[in-house]
Structure 1
Amino acid sequence: MRIVMTLVALSFAVSAQAADTGTFVKGPVFAEFGPHASVESDMPIPPGTEFKVAFDSSIGAEDGALNKTFDRVARFINMNVAAGMPRDAIHVAVVVHGTAGPDLLSNPGWSKTHGGTANPNQPLIRALLDQGVRIILCGQSAARMGIEKGDLEPGVELALSAMTAHALLANEGYSENPF
């Protein structure tokens, strides 16, 4: 009897989880990235709002997976555009340092250290850059890891440091997203 009850409880848990994930969609900006859910918010976005947000990424992706911060940036843009914000009112930068640095390598740069394989993050990085997202790599992290500018996906910027990049972005009116 205990086994039957456990199996029934487990089936409800799996069904509930499947129902929750079914409400998440991708797009409208990034068709392959940034799944989000529609929410009846008690905090509507006032007309004329403009976002200038800097994300920080210091933890690299697990082998073969997307960098979670990069996908979070796509979700931020997707969900706000889906909620009615104009795309051109959303300005985003990603400051990358630490073990997340190699996630910014171009496919040839990645291939050198990963047995000839393609960087699983390259399509997402390219999509973000093509949408005007600034992606900035900490020069100190790059130097420590032996990453050269020519190994990066074209369009990725190199800063003196992550600290410097965040300070400069703050001077430009960017707030740092803590998530």
Structure 2
Amino acid sequence: MPGMLPVINEFCVKQAIKTGIGLKAKINHYSVFDRKNYFYADLPQGYQISQYKHPIVGEGVVTIDFSNGESKDIRIVRLHLEQDAGKSLHDQNPAKTYVDLNRSGVALMEIVSEPDLRSAEEAALYITKLRSILMYLDVCDGNMQEGSLRADVNISVRKPGENYGTRCE
């Protein structure tokens, strides 16, 4: 209905809490949603409902296991709920970009980790472990080819021995 304020989806909140428990994370009793305003073709509303300062789930951990028997903890910063944006399609026509809005406005969980991954092997182990946790908890079917599980990777390019650079997306 035009002019109506957004209403929280109880099922999504329960799924986020369930996931937080599976990630050995802090479940916050206070959570806030923000309206993030920006213009992009795949966001027809001109804003996205998201969480940042007060997410539903706080710090947690995923432990990855290496083939040599060693393990490493990957720290989780937060898990928050937000509205998904649309998807820009650049491969349909070399001269045009199309926008698929089928997922626009759909609720999604975003898991943000600390920059603890130091190699492609660690990143693959992390995503594989995270995927298995989410599938075990029955909060995600894990179908990456269908977009049910997506991973955005930020990398720090630097010379060996130099400090890591400023975070950018």
Q: Same fold (TM over 0.5)?
A: no
> Could you say which structure has the higher helix fraction?
1
TM range (shorter): under 0.3
The structure whose Rg is larger is: 1
Give the alignment's TM-score, normalised by structure 2: 0.28
> Could you say which structure has the higher strand fraction?
2
Give the alignment's TM-score, normalised by structure 1: 0.27
